[in-house]
């Protein structure tokens, strides 16, 4: 297929913009990642995002809504669940009717026993916890006896932590593959198994940049599969390949937002027509999960400085969407994801600034599909409405 133009889909992981209509069902009433961060710091000063129309998507203290240069709105999740896998799949047209299993009280004994037996190492913790807290608590014991630190969260994840000087990363990754392929199957098929290597000494442990996610294979076709079948190039930045179990996309990982922005810029400078699909991780991983309001605020200011240089790389016919996969409100007592709407900002030389209203996550994938002339999975395309 002959393709003209490039489509950049930038997912700002965890950047919610207000509780979803069903937030109560998830215990997330009042969550509003951007709005609450803005209120906590006395208002945001983000002139470039403001000029795009971020303050038009929803009320955000400090941001005005005057003559936005982007098409703007919000997307509302429909899938059951509020994790990154669910959000990214839904953005790509795969809507889940049933949520992934979660284990707020820890995993059943048979799961832990099977994992320990097949990896030939004991297991510590087995509870829901903050990753940094659990490593501080069990790190000395893990260093002493070489066991695994296994923990989860309110999300559907099986996380395995190990000190890099005690267990090699290769062995940690193999253990996570065992958990993914042989242990966490059937009714216990969690969305992601996550390898969490760390280093340091008691009282000063730190997680390294060598995290890896082992996701379920999508149970149905996604936008990425349709693009692959049509021979349309797909360039990944961040953990997008992990979230789709490596199906129909490869990706260069980025441990920080700055690295992700640099890779996005590099891709836009060099790639041919096709899809650029990027996950920008730190709003979720570094700040949302750690209730770090100051860090989140600084990250927003850094984002504000890079959006225009990225947009300036767009050529005639190109489109870029900034959106998110779920919320992660650092101002609430929870350190987990929040069930929220997410912002939609659509830019490009041929985009007509306008209000998009309340859309569905899957509308994003449908728009990309129409842009490239392939069949959509679910959702309603916005392409005709946003083009000049």
Q: What's the CATH code of the domain at 162?
A: 3.30.70.1250
Structure confidence by residue, pLDDT tens digits, 76-119 = 999 999 999 999 999 999 999 988 999 999 999 999 999 999 99
159 shares its domain with 225:
no
Q: How far apart are the first and last CA of the chain?
A: 25
Q: Does 180 have pLDDT greater than 80?
A: yes
In a domain, 102, yes or no: no
Number of domains within the chain: 2
pLDDT at position 185, please? 95
Pairwise CA distance, residues 203 & 226, whole Å = 48
267 shares its domain with 373:
yes
Q: What share of the chain is helix, strand, coil (3-state, %, to 5)?
A: 35, 20, 45
Pairwise CA distance, residues 193 & 208, whole Å = 17
Q: What mean pLDDT do residues 172-186 have?
A: 97
Instruction: Report helix, strand or coil for 335.
Output: coil
CATH number of domain containing 58: 3.40.720.10
325 shares its domain with 230:
yes
Contact in structure between 60 and 297 (CB atoms under 8 Å): no
pLDDT at position 130, please? 86
- Which band of pLDDT confidence, cut at 50, 70 and 90, is reported for residue 271? very high
Pairwise CA distance, residues 148 & 166, whole Å = 10
Q: Does 300 have pLDDT greater than 60?
A: yes
Pairwise CA distance, residues 75 & 18, whole Å = 11
In a domain, 103, yes or no: no
Q: Does 188 have pLDDT greater than 80?
A: yes
Structure confidence by residue, pLDDT tens digits, 307-356 = 999 999 999 999 999 999 999 999 999 988 999 999 999 999 999 999 99
pLDDT at position 209, please? 87
Backbone angles phi, psi at 287, to 5 degrees: -120, -45
- Which band of pLDDT confidence, cut at 50, 70 and 90, is reported for residue 377? confident
Q: Does 160 have pLDDT greater than 80?
A: yes
Question: Which residue range(s) make up the domain with 251?
Answer: 6-97+216-386
Q: Does 224 have pLDDT greater than 80?
A: yes
Structure confidence by residue, pLDDT tens digits, 49-74 = 999 999 999 999 999 998 999 999 99
- 3-state SS, 182-248, equals HHCCHHHCCCEEEEEEEECCCCCCEECCCCEEEECCCCCCCHHHHHHHCCCCEEEECCHHHHCCCCC
Q: Does 155 have pLDDT greater than 90?
A: no
In a domain, 346, yes or no: yes
- Compute the mean pLDDT over every residue in the chain, rounded to the nearest whole number: 96
328 shares its domain with 209:
no
Instruction: Report helix, strand or coil for 150.
Output: strand
20 shares its domain with 32:
yes
Closest CA to 244 of 8, 85, 12: 85
- Which band of pLDDT confidence, cut at 50, 70 and 90, is reported for residue 1? low
In a domain, 104, yes or no: no
pLDDT at position 2, please? 59
Contact in structure between 115 and 150 (CB atoms under 8 Å): yes
237 shares its domain with 350:
yes
In a domain, 1, yes or no: no
Q: What mean pLDDT do residues 214-221 have?
A: 93
Q: Does 154 have pLDDT greater than 90?
A: no
Burial of 193 (0-12, 13-18, 19+ CB in 10 A): buried
pLDDT at position 345, please? 98
167 shares its domain with 223:
no
Q: Please give the C-alpha separations between residue 290 and each of 172, 278, 284, 333, in angstroms, as whole numbers.
A: 24, 22, 9, 10
pLDDT at position 96, please? 93
pTM: 0.90
Q: Does 3 have pLDDT greater than 80?
A: no
Backbone angles phi, psi at 338, to 5 degrees: -125, 145
Q: Does 25 have pLDDT greater than 90?
A: yes
Please say which residue of 187, 214, 241 terminates a domain: 214
Tell me which of 3 and 83 has the higher pLDDT.
83
Q: Supply the DSSP symbol for 379.
A: S
147 shares its domain with 220:
no
Q: How many residues does the chain have?
A: 388
Pairwise CA distance, residues 125 & 347, whole Å = 46
Q: Please give the C-alpha separations between residue 98 and each of 55, 131, 149, 164, 360, in angstroms, as whole numbers.
A: 33, 26, 29, 36, 17
280 shares its domain with 361:
yes
347 shares its domain with 220:
yes
Please say which residue of 160, 189, 214 terminates a domain: 214
317 shares its domain with 352:
yes
Per cent of the chain over pLDDT 90 is: 94
Per cent of the chain over pLDDT 70 is: 99
Please say which residue of 181, 214, 247 terminates a domain: 214
205 shares its domain with 222:
no
Structure confidence by residue, pLDDT tens digits, 29-53 = 999 999 999 999 999 999 999 999 9
């Amino acid at each position: 297929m002959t393709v003209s133009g490039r489509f950049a889909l930038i997912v700002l992981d965890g950047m919610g913009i207000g509780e979803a209509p069903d937030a109560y069902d998830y215990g997330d009433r009042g969550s509003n990642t951007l709005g609450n961060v803005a209120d906590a710091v006395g208002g945001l000063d983000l002139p470039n995002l403001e000029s795009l129309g971020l303050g038009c998507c929803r009320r955000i203290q400090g941001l005005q809504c005057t003559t936005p240069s982007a098409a703007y709105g919000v997307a509302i999740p429909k899938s059951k669940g509020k994790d990154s896998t669910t959000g990214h799949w839904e953005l790509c047209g795969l809507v889940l009717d049933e949520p992934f299993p979660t284990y707020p009280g820890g995993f059943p004994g048979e799961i832990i026993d099977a994992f320990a037996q097949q990896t030939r190492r004991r297991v510590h913790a087995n509870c829901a916890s903050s990753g940094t807290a659990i490593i501080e608590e069990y790190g000395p014991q893990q260093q002493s006896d070489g066991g695994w630190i296994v923990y989860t969260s309110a999300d559907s994840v099986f996380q395995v932590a190990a000190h890099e000087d005690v267990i090699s990363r290769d062995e940690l990754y193999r253990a996570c593959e065992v958990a993914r392929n042989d242990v966490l199957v059937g009714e216990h098929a969690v969305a992601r198994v996550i390898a969490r290597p760390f280093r340091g000494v008691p009282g000063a442990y730190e997680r390294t940049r060598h995290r890896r996610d082992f996701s379920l294979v999508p149970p149905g076709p996604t936008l990425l599969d349709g693009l692959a079948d049509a021979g349309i190039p797909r360039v990944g930045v961040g953990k997008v390949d992990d979230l789709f179990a490596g199906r129909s996309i490869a990706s260069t990982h980025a441990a920080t937002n700055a690295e992700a922005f640099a890779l996005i810029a590099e891709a836009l400078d060099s790639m041919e027509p096709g899809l650029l699909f990027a996950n920008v991780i730190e709003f979720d991983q570094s700040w949302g999960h750690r209730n770090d309001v100051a860090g989140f605020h600084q990250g927003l200011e850094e984002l504000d400085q890079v959006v225009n240089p990225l947009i300036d790389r767009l050529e005639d016919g190109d489109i870029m969407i900034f959106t998110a996969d779920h919320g992660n409100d650092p101002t609430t007592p929870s350190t987990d994801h929040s069930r929220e709407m997410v912002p939609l900002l659509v830019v490009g030389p041929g985009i007509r600034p306008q209000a998009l209203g309340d859309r569905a996550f899957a509308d994003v994938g449908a728009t990309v599909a129409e842009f490239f002339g392939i069949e959509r999975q679910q959702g309603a395309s916005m392409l005709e409405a946003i083009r000049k």
